[in-house]
Amino acid sequence: MNLIIEIIGTAISLYSWVLIIYILMSWFPNSRETSFGQLLAKVCEPYLEPFRRFVPPIGMIDISPLVAFFVLNLASRGLIQISGWF
């Protein structure tokens, strides 16, 4: 059971880094239109979209990725707690 939890925790960590890269790409013009940017969009947008529906932007700044990172952090901490039970 701990192996499964460790694999899921690693996947969450890797996904967090993918989100960071995807979000930083928004700072560079046309970087999301590249094939790499489109691949990251296919991976990241389905997760970010629900947060964008409920978290309004503040001016021109989209803070929904911060909420998305918070949720991933909670999931990771939850896994740590669950692994302590086993």
Is the distance from CB of 36 to CB of 18 less than 8 angstroms?
Answer: no
Residue 24 has a pLDDT of 93
Beta bridge mates, 61 = 58
pLDDT in tens, 39-70: 999 999 999 999 999 999 898 888 999 999 99
* Domain span at 28: 2-85
Which has the closest alpha carbon to 64: 40, 47, 77?
Answer: 47
What's the total number of domains in the chain? 1
